[in-house]
């Protein structure tokens, strides 16, 4: 057994302190070590965006980051998006606009879209489509996802 690495980070606003094998991806760390299964695996090679999380203000595919790499970082996952009892505006507009079908890609889209609106509160449709092109959805054809992001931007 390989020796585990100690990691201290801020996860969804809370301090975390855990041991993880040096080869374990952040995706597996979140899901298997920390019990946060809201972050999904679609490809495990950085091409579908289902595992998107926010790390120090940037969106990353958590399958392509090691768990040990978040030492000293601030990480936000889908589980940290809503406030207690209150959905984030994007979560609300995704529901209202029927922007999800099977829902497996939804956490990744929400984390990506949140990062976009924090950076650019009023993006154009083209900009939204470009920004979200790292997240694959096979159910919706993206139409309602784009409209949900537009609606959130308009009502913010």
Q: Can you give the binding site for another protein, defined by CB under 8 A?
A: 21, 23, 28, 31, 36-45, 47-48, 50, 77-79, 81-82, 87, 91, 94-98, 100-107, 110, 125, 128-130, 132-146
Q: Between residues 65 and 105, which has the closer beta carbon with respect to another protein?
A: 105
| Nearest C-alpha neighbor of 154 from the set 87, 81, 89, 86 | 89
> In whole angstroms, what is the distance from residue 104 CA to residue 97 CA?
17
Q: Between residues 70 and 100, which has the closer beta carbon with respect to another protein?
A: 100
Q: Between residues 70 and 111, which has the closer beta carbon with respect to another protein?
A: 111
| Token duo for residue 70 | 């978040």
Kindly state the smallest distance separating residue 61's Cβ from another protein, in Å: 11
Kindly state the smallest distance separating residue 3's Cβ from another protein, in Å: 14
Q: Between residues 8 and 113, which has the closer beta carbon with respect to another protein?
A: 113
| Nearest C-alpha neighbor of 33 from the set 44, 19, 54 | 19
| Token duo for residue 28 | 């597996």
For residue 18, the surrounding DSSP H or E stretch is strand 14-20
Q: How far is CA 98 from the centre of its chain?
A: 19
Kindly state the smallest distance separating residue 17's Cβ from another protein, in Å: 21
């Amino acid at each position: 057994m390989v020796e585990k690495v100690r990691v201290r980070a801020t996860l969804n606003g809370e301090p975390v302190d855990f041991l993880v094998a040096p080869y374990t991806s952040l995706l597996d760390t979140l899901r298997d070590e920390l019990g946060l299964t809201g972050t999904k695996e679609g490809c495990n090679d950085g091409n579908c965006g289902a595992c998107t999380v926010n790390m120090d203000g940037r969106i990353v595919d958590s399958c392509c980051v090691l768990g040990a790499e978040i030492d000293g970082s601030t990480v936000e996952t889908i589980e940290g998006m809503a406030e207690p009892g209150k959905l984030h505006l994007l979560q609300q507009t995704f529901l209202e606009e029927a922007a999800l079908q099977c829902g497996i890609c939804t956490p990744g889209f929400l984390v990506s879209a949140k990062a976009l609106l924090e950076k650019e509160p009023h993006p154009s449709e083209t900009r939204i489509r470009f920004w979200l092109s790292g997240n694959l959805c096979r159910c919706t054809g993206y139409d309602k996802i784009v409209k949900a992001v537009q609606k959130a931007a308009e009502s913010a």
